[in-house]
Amino acid sequence: MPRDILVTTSKLLSYVLRHRPDRIGLALDTKGWAGVEDLLAQLAAHGHPLDRALLERVVAGNDKQRFAFSEDGTRIRASQGHSVQVDLALAPAVPPPVLYDGTASRFLKSILAEGLHAAARHHVHLSADVETAKRVGTRHGFPAVLRVDAAHMHADGMVFYRSDNGVWLTHAVLPRYLATVN
């Protein structure tokens, strides 16, 4: 199967399951889950036919594990990154001492002055390693990687969560906890 079909389908699923389920008449429950059959039917009704095999391939093959099936395989949701109101029921977690944020270098000055904010999403997304953060930053231009002093943030009372796919989440990162990685 061509890679571009997998990428296009992944982007469509991200849009629908994270941001605009209403665009195809899909309803997410309070935990962000949608019925797989309902998703497939609504996608088809809106000009995006997708079969279960391709859906399973996209979920299994996504390098960031952006999506997850329920244990019985009847429901699907995005692992994090929602701009619609959902409760992923994530428990607070103790972060590793250092986390990383990948961004475009053109945003670096502003971020170092103002910190990281969730903007339209529920949380700031942080990576456990430099390489992942660099890949994230590359999506937005020439990458810059920031070191986040998660140990001090946590000691100062900031709450962290770890999504099912290993992404670290927090509500904001103040400038005093940030440093550039060279």
Residues of the chain with pLDDT under 50: none
CATH domain 3-78 topology = Arc Repressor Mutant, subunit A (1.10.10)
> Which residue ranges does the chain devote to CATH 1.10.10.970?
3-78
Q: Tokens 């770890």 label which residue?
A: 162
> What whole-number distance in Å separates Cα of residue 136 and Cα of residue 114?
20
pLDDT score at 120: 67
pLDDT tens readout for residues 115-140: 999 876 778 989 999 999 998 888 87
Could you tell me which CATH class the domain 98-180 is placed in?
alpha beta
pLDDT score at 30: 87
> What whole-number distance in Å separates Cα of residue 130 and Cα of residue 128?
7
Q: Tokens 């440093």 label which residue?
A: 179
> Which residue ranges does the chain devote to CATH 3.20.170.30?
98-180
114-122 contacts, C-beta under 8 A, 24 or more apart: 114/175, 115/172, 115/173, 115/174, 115/175, 115/177, 115/178, 116/146, 116/148, 116/172, 116/173, 116/178, 117/172, 118/171, 118/172, 120/83, 121/81, 121/82, 121/83, 122/80, 122/82, 122/83, 122/86, 122/169
pLDDT score at 124: 92
In which element (H, E) is residue 64 found?
A: none
> What whole-number distance in Å separates Cα of residue 31 and Cα of residue 116?
25
pLDDT score at 52: 95
